[in-house]
């Protein structure tokens, strides 16, 4: 097969410096816009490569050919960054206020909680950074480079570390090589390149050295880019850009939308909303307490410590600790059990809240390799003879053309065919597939047919049919049939044969007979069309089950691919994903839609095809604008904008380094099953966080309402600041159990989103019910202590209310932790044990030696009997209100 050679080339001494030339390494910004001669002149190089001295000088100036390194933040820096969390900010404000009013115990406890929370978060994120550091390394370790010791020496091919490459180096590329830098081809021979990590295209892209092209985009045939891989053929090329100046590093380095400031994720938005709710309550509570006591009880600033204690009681001090503990435990279990690394702890919540997952087709739904579908004759009828001839062509092309490995399409044909059919013929000569001719040719000898050989041609339908003996009408009909197969998402190969006399085949160079290249087109005429072979993308073995799991859990899947829409639709249908006629959108139609129109379309469209990176990011942004929590699974440079735009970015371990660095979650394999496990862990964590917020905020609000009412009715403070602090410490310690709780299975069936408005409605409703139970305790104390005057006993009132508060909070922990009391197991599990311990503390603390320092005293037996009645009514009310809320 002829090789393509870029022309004109400079003379052999073109690597020497010349007056007026651009400095070495200062290549044009768009190398594809220059001819080879112009490119070499700009690089001050030539086809013989650089001398050792020139290379050393250039490396000293341009640096090592390594991608910009990701620098993990140190543990202290991550710790300080955790202080910016809104929840932590609320606690710090409370701590400062407590210190201002000399409430040192409260201030110390709050400070301890802040330190514990930040330490947990910093440790988890720092551990994730260390885990992902071992996953880096995209480019090849060595490259074949032409170097000379001196100016007049002949160039020698040497294997050099990739980081020693400099602009102007001439390298050689072969099958399986990773392109180590951005290069301009000088010579090429049947070169095709995989650049899915850059563009998302699953099929190899043809490249050749001929001509000049304006622009230097990924579709330039003369340029190969760092991170791509050679699929077939060979080439020599000159390095035009290294390190941070390559296309692969351009997005990494901070240019373009892929690295713009990231929008707040679902977790960030929820945290901000809940924090503002807490801040409003915190700011509102102390003035209300002060004004009420001043107006009705003629108390002044002596109630300020109590007002601060009430504000502290309203605020869930353990919120940062519980949230971080839930997320850190879920992340640790994912890493150990499923090798999924959560780099940013809040991303685990976003996984649980995710209701749309966007992903590419290649590598997730399919295996990035074709498999045989069917073989048909020209009339569309199944014909195994067509497959036999296709396999014969593939087999003898591989054997006689000395290819290092079969093409992916040929491999699929050989897997489907009987090996005995392939070897029944004797191979004579072969010309392998190349992207210019778009076909492969083999000549075989069939035993028993003396003097006659069979020419077998396989390739693109339009190319093969052009060489067949057909009328224009017949050719048009067959092309339409092939186009129909392609529209169904199938890859189509046309197969044709012809008998040629033995005398027309002459010996060629090498150990085999060969069909001379200059006679190839002459012999490949007047062929008989045998039919078509269709192939489809091999489905990922776990994709079908994983998609069903995602659907059952309320996660819709959107396919964002650079591939043909038919291929994506075919993969979806083969996996049982329904795709309607209006559920496919191509890039040109996306460009024609406004943001509002795309937001509406994204809610119903399942497949977005022919997408460039900016299209993927725009679709993800449209889904988020529609109120969805969006995850994006990608592994290439072309996925970077979408990874950053999504609420949670997911990348596999073998993704390009910059994609792994951008992602929030790193998978051991590009497998949807692992995503399902991550969603499960996220919903476990999110369910526990939601249950904690429901329990603690509703209880705290009820206590605050009751305290305000008691402050107006009683001649003394309803609870001493020390008692408020002790009560909070007991409750806070019990709430740590939420980090280890296992939510009800119903939690896994829907996204767990922290919605501030829904949370506010919940805590107001259940807080009011809790306040009613607290106020009912006043009546219980009056009856148990024989008359309303008994309420004047300060210690008795404090003890009764202290006990009731802790017991009711334990009851709320059991009833509201998953939205309903578990039928199976009742109060079992960490939360059940914690609730039991909290109840014991409420009942025993007034009786213990610790009760007296806190101002608590033992209570009469009648109080406990009446309290049990109040709690039974309270539990019934909780269940009734919760059942009504769930029925809406």
**Pairing between strand 607-609 and 340-342?**
unpaired
The SS3 assignment for 399 reads helix
- Total residue length of the chain: 888
DSSP-assigned beta bridge partners for residue 184: 223, 238
Return the DSSP state at 766: H
DSSP H helical segments within 35-100, as ranges? 36-43, 52-62, 75-82, 86-100
* Active-site position among 129, 169, 360, 647: 360
DSSP string, 515-575: --GGGHHHHSSSBEEEEEEEEEEEEPTTHHHHHHHHHHTT-EEEEE-SS-HHHHHHHHHHT
Radius of gyration of the chain (CA): 36
113 contacts: CB under 8 Å, gap ≥ 6:
91, 317, 318, 320, 321, 732
734 contacts: CB under 8 Å, gap ≥ 6:
809, 810, 813, 834, 835, 837, 838
- Residue pair 159/172 in contact (Cβ under 8 Å)? The answer is no
- Residue pair 240/27 in contact (Cβ under 8 Å)? The answer is yes
- Residue pair 191/235 in contact (Cβ under 8 Å)? The answer is yes
Q: What token pair was written down for 173? A: 């590329």
- Residue pair 774/808 in contact (Cβ under 8 Å)? The answer is yes
- Residue pair 855/864 in contact (Cβ under 8 Å)? The answer is no
- Residue 175 burial by Cβ neighbours in a 10 Å radius (0-12, 13-18, 19+): middle
256 contacts: CB under 8 Å, gap ≥ 6:
250, 641
334 half-sphere exposure, CB direction, 13 A CA radius: 34
- Residue 886 burial by Cβ neighbours in a 10 Å radius (0-12, 13-18, 19+): exposed
DSSP string, 608-674: EES--HHHHHHHHHHHHHTT--EEEE--SGGGHHHHHHSSEEEEETTS-HHHHHH-SEEESSS-HHH
- Residue pair 273/756 in contact (Cβ under 8 Å)? The answer is yes
Return the DSSP state at 27: -
Our answer to whether residue 407 is catalytic in this structure is no
At which residue do the structure tokens 């001649």 appear?
715
**Pairing between strand 229-241 and 170-173?**
antiparallel
What are the contacts of 199-205 at 24+ separation with CB within 8 A? 199/562, 199/636, 199/638, 200/360, 200/362, 200/561, 200/562, 200/563, 200/611, 200/636, 200/638, 200/639, 201/562, 201/563, 202/361, 202/362, 202/366, 202/368, 202/537, 202/563, 202/567, 203/563, 204/231, 204/232
Report the Cα 626 to chain-centroid distance in Å.
20
- Residue 457 burial by Cβ neighbours in a 10 Å radius (0-12, 13-18, 19+): buried
Q: What token pair was written down for 854? A: 């806190």
- Please tell me the distance from the alpha carbon of residue 179 to that of residue 144, in angstroms, as a whole number: 11
- Please tell me the distance from the alpha carbon of residue 687 to that of residue 206, in angstroms, as a whole number: 50
- Please tell me the distance from the alpha carbon of residue 542 to that of residue 819, in angstroms, as a whole number: 33
DSSP H helical segments within 346-442, as ranges? 346-353, 384-400, 408-416, 419-423
- Residue pair 455/498 in contact (Cβ under 8 Å)? The answer is yes
Active site residues per annotation: 360
């Amino acid at each position: 097969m002829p090789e393509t050679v870029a022309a004109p080339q400079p003379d052999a001494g073109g690597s020497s410096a010349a007056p007026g030339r651009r400095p070495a390494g200062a290549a044009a910004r768009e190398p594809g816009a220059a001819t080879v001669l112009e490119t070499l002149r700009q690089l001050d190089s030539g086809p013989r490569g650089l001398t050792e001295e020139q290379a050393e000088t250039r490396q000293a100036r341009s640096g090592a050919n390594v991608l910009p390194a990701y620098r993990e933040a140190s543990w202290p820096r991550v710790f300080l960054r955790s202080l910016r969390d809104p929840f932590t900010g609320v606690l710090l404000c409370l701590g400062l206020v407590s210190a201002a009013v000399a409430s040192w115990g409260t201030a110390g406890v709050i400070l301890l909680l802040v330190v514990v929370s930040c330490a947990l978060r910093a440790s988890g994120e720092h551990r994730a950074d260390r885990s992902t550091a071992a996953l880096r390394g995209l480019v090849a370790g060595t490259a074949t480079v032409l170097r000379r010791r001196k100016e007049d020496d002949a160039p020698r091919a040497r294997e050099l570390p990739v980081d020693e490459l400099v602009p102007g180096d001439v390298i050689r590329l072969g099958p399986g090589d990773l392109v180590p830098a951005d290069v301009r081809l000088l010579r090429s021979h049947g070169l095709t390149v995989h650049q899915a990590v850059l563009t998302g295209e699953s099929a190899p892209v043809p490249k050749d050295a001929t001509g000049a092209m304006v622009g230097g985009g990924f579709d330039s045939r003369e340029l190969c880019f760092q991170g791509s891989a050679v699929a077939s053929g060979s080439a020599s090329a000159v390095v035009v850009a290294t390190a941070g100046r390559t296309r692969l590093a351009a997005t990494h380095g901070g240019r373009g939308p892929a690295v713009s400031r990231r929008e707040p994720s679902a977790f960030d938005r929820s945290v901000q909303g809940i924090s503002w709710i807490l801040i409003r309550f915190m700011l509102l509570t102390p003035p209300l307490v002060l004004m009420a006591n001043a107006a009705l009880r003629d108390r002044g600033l002596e109630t300020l410590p109590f007002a601060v204690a009430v504000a502290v009681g309203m605020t869930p001090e353990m919120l940062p600790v519980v949230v971080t503990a839930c997320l850190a435990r879920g992340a640790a279990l994912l890493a150990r059990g499923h090798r999924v690394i959560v780099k940013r702890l809040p991303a685990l919540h976003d996984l649980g809240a995710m209701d749309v997952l966007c992903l590419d087709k290649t590598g997730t739904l399919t295996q990035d390799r074709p498999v045989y579908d069917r073989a048909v004759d020209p009339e569309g009828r199944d014909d195994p003879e067509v497959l036999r001839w296709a396999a014969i062509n593939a087999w003898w092309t591989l054997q006689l053309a000395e290819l290092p490995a079969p093409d992916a399409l040929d491999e699929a044909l050989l897997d489907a065919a009987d090996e005995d059919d392939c070897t029944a013929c004797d191979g004579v000569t072969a010309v392998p597939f190349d992207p210019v001719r778009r076909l492969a040719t083999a000549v075989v000898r069939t035993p028993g047919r003396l003097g006659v050989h069979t020419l077998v041609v396989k390739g693109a339908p339009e190319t093969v049919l052009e060489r067949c003996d057909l009328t224009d009408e017949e050719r048009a009909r067959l092309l339409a049939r092939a186009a129909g197969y392609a529209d169904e998402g199938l890859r189509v190969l046309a197969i044709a044969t012809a008998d040629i006399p033995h005398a027309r085949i002459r010996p060629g160079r090498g150990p085999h007979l060969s069909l001379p290249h200059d006679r190839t087109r002459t012999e490949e005429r007047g062929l008989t069309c045998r039919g078509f072979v269709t192939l489809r993308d091999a489905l990922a073995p776990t994709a079908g089950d994983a998609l069903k799991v995602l659907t059952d859990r309320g996660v819709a899947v959107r396919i964002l691919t650079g591939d043909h829409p038919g291929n994506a639709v075919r993969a979806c249908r083969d996996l049982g994903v329904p795709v309607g006629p209006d559920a496919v959108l191509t890039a040109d139609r996306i460009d024609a839609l406004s943001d509002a129109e795309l937001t509406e379309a994204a809610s119903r469209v399942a497949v977005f095809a022919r997408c460039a990176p900016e299209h993927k990011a725009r679709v993800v942004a449209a889904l988020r604008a529609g109120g969805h929590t969006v995850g994006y699974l990608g592994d290439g440079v072309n996925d970077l904008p979408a990874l950053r735009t999504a609420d949670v970015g997911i990348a596999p371990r073998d993704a390009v380094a910059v994609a792994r660095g951008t992602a929030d979650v790193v998978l051991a394999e590009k497998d949807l099953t692992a995503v399902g496990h991550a969603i499960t862990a996220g919903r476990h964590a999110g369910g526990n966080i939601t249950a904690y917020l429901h329990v603690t905020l509703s209880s705290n609000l009820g206590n605050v309402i009751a305290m305000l009412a008691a402050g107006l009715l009683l001649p003394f403070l309803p609870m001493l600041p020390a008692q408020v602090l002790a009560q909070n410490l007991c409750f806070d310690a019990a709430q740590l159990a939420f980090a280890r709780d296992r939510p009800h299975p119903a939690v896994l069936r829907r996204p767990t989103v922290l919605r501030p408005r829904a949370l506010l409605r919940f805590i107001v409703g259940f807080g009011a019910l809790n306040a009613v139970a607290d106020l009912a305790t006043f009546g219980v104390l009056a009856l148990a202590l024989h008359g309303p005057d008994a309420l004047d006993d300060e210690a008795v009132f404090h003890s009764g209310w202290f006990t009731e508060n802790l017991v009711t909070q334990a009851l709320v922990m059991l009833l509201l932790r998953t939205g309903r009391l578990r039928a199976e197991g009742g109060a079992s599990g960490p939360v059940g044990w914690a609730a039991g311990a909290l109840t014991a503390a409420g009942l025993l603390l007034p009786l213990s030696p610790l009760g007296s320092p806190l101002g608590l005293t033992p209570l009469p037996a009648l109080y406990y009997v009446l309290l049990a009645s109040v709690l039974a009514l309270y539990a019934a009310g909780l269940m009734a209100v919760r059942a009504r809320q769930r029925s809406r």
